[in-house]
A and B are shown apart, each in its own frame.
Chain A
């Protein structure tokens, strides 16, 4: 027994806490073969950050007579890690590990804000903010402002949805104007009116403080000025669209032109073309401030009849979609919501030889 005690004391002289790959180990101390009654965290614990905090989650193992802790999640660069080894019958041993905080220069920027046009109806429903790289969640509503002509902020123009409506890669944020202020007959609409007033100029301002997914602010802020036109309460009508049809054996685009800008995101996906050989594969471009949709086929067009299938979910800037205005005036549409709106409408075109 005396010999063992001596051996432990000698070992204790050289006990140290070391970082070892993704783990942290207590070197120079033999943990023995049995787990301590209160678990390994009662002997060896790692604390991230300052203050009275619980130890980091992770797993313990004894490898070659060495106690090793592996964090459940790799510590974020820049976080201070304090490791405490509470040696049985000895003073606690501490070690601090701090990795350098990633210090990347700002490079992310706002690529574009849709709609592209600088004339928006006073019942404009949404904006899409497209970034050059993935962004952080949780601060959108602090970073987006709408200023009126005098440069004063418009109060709460947007629906501040906690979840934030991002695309999967966090590169595109959907911002909804407060529908309560757009919908006619609602209290916010009556009390404070719509967020946009016809005839006035506004500036959308995006702060450069907004952090990208790396935690680095934007390279620069973004401003978009626009003027406000009267309300648009007329649903898009496919009979007003103009089709420019390609010739057979070419890979020219089929082009659809609209009399008003339509929703940029929906235009990417609501059209499908099928022809003599079934569905046509190809790529889509949306041009001319979202008043033009172009489809370039992967293979040259075969002669024959083609169907352009349009999902009626397609919206204009004010959220009117095919066959149904954003807010239905029940005095005009007696059937109201019971009206059946088809899921799709079709336009047909003929691709002929030269």
Chain B
């Protein structure tokens, strides 16, 4: 594989499309069993191979793999444009827009249907719902009543009913992002108690009670200090022929970490490649190729959407001095993309955005900048 060549989360897609018929899917799909999905919350999601959807369930302390069965390739010119999608979702679910939360939006890389993780209700009894939006803008529910799925419990996470007089049942590992890469689901999380990094690698297909030992992520390059650094959002990508993740810490630096270093029980130090500075809340990232160049697109709270070139990143050394070279890799701001709440790659030429435009949510595709 040449330098800078990308294969993003859906690396297996080309193979899947080439091998039509039952044999293509067997290994991953065979690991899933039909039945009711005991999901307690629907948070961050990611697509894996064979249109399998991984859903992060923070309340249930689990990752759930679901066979969406949605394996019909999209027509080439598919686009999505659904205005006021919050109103439409609320109507489907018999409630008001202020009683739903869209926790994540991801694109099925095969069908190009958009999947939404939704909470119906805002309290502790909120009902998790997974919705599917097709190119025509029709929204349907992915029923979890009887569907092929499997569950990986997050080790060490206490069961919700494990309450005792010691307040142990109050601890939650909130899943902030997840991704599938080459047979592994990587999960970033943040505790509501101790400030440590919780990054897990879980083999897929899930094997019984999945061992998902944590990986301690440190942030070692801010001046001469190092700290635990929980990862907020991350993106798998290929760098110099080696799989990496690009990760945004809760404390704003953007770092690269080789996936080979992400081993259960290990301590890992990310290499800072950019500092986003204050007032920035990294939300979502995608990677893409345009005109033979590889780029990252990152939505964040205050700077609109940032575009970074991958070129030179493989040679990029850590930011080490405290003030002089803070900028790190150069980036450009795509100012016209404002209010982005969710971002995913739609196809080779388009991104999917969920935006908040003056209080109403719109789902649409836009050309990659």
Q: Measuring CB to CB, which residues of chain A are less than 8 angstroms from any residue of chain B?
A: 47-49, 51, 53-57, 71-76, 78-79, 81, 125-126, 134-138, 155-156, 159-163, 165-170, 172, 174, 176, 178-181, 183-192, 211-215, 263, 265-266, 268-269, 282-284, 313, 315, 319, 321, 326-331, 336-338
Contacts and interface: CB of A to CB of B under 8 A. Distances in A.
Contact of B192 (A135, A156, A162, A167): A167
A160 B229 CA distance: 16
Contacts of A214: 123
- From B59, B96, B125, B251, residue with most partner A Cβ within 10 Å: B251
A190 B278 CA distance: 10
Contacts of B94: 48, 56-57, 71-76, 79, 81
Majority-rule SS of A interface residues: loop
B166 A269 contact: yes
A54 B58 CA distance: 30
A161 B276 CA distance: 16
A69 to B, nearest CB: 11
B95 A126 contact: no
Contact of B225 (A49, A166, A330): A330
Nearest to A175: B192
B43 A170 contact: no
B323 interface: yes
Contacts of B349: none
25 contacts: A49-B91, A53-B88, A53-B92, A75-B94, A76-B99, A81-B94, A137-B101, A137-B119, A137-B123, A155-B279, A159-B281, A161-B190, A162-B103, A162-B283, A163-B175, A166-B172, A170-B123, A170-B124, A192-B278, A211-B122, A265-B167, A265-B170, A268-B168, A268-B170, A283-B166
Interface in B17-62: 43, 58-59
A155 B120 CA distance: 32
Contact of A213 (B96, B120, B123, B277): B123
A76 B127 CA distance: 13
Given A48-B94, A54-B139, A327-B227, A168 B193 contact: no
A296 to B, nearest CB: 10
Contacts of A263: 193-194
B79 to A, nearest CB: 19
Contact of A329 (B196, B225, B281): B225
A178 to B, nearest CB: 7
B301 A183 contact: no
Contacts of B259: none
Nearest to B230: A179
A313 B214 CA distance: 14
B153 interface: no
B195 interface: yes
A183 B195 contact: no
A184 B194 CA distance: 20
A187 B125 contact: no
Contact of B193 (A213, A265, A336, A338): A265
B222 interface: yes
Contacts of B195: 125-126, 176, 179, 315, 319, 326
A138 B120 contact: no
Contacts of B71: none
Contacts of A55: 91-92
A321 B228 CA distance: 11
A183 B194 contact: no
A238 to B, nearest CB: 17
A125 B230 CA distance: 14
A187 B277 contact: yes
B252 A186 contact: yes
Nearest to A331: B224
Nearest to B321: A185
Interface in B69-109: 84, 87-88, 90-97, 99, 101, 103
Contacts of B99: 76, 215
Contacts of A170: 123-124
A268 B283 CA distance: 33
Contact of A165 (B59, B126, B174): B174
Nearest to A295: B166
B172 A137 contact: no
Contacts of B267: 337-338
A315 to B, nearest CB: 6
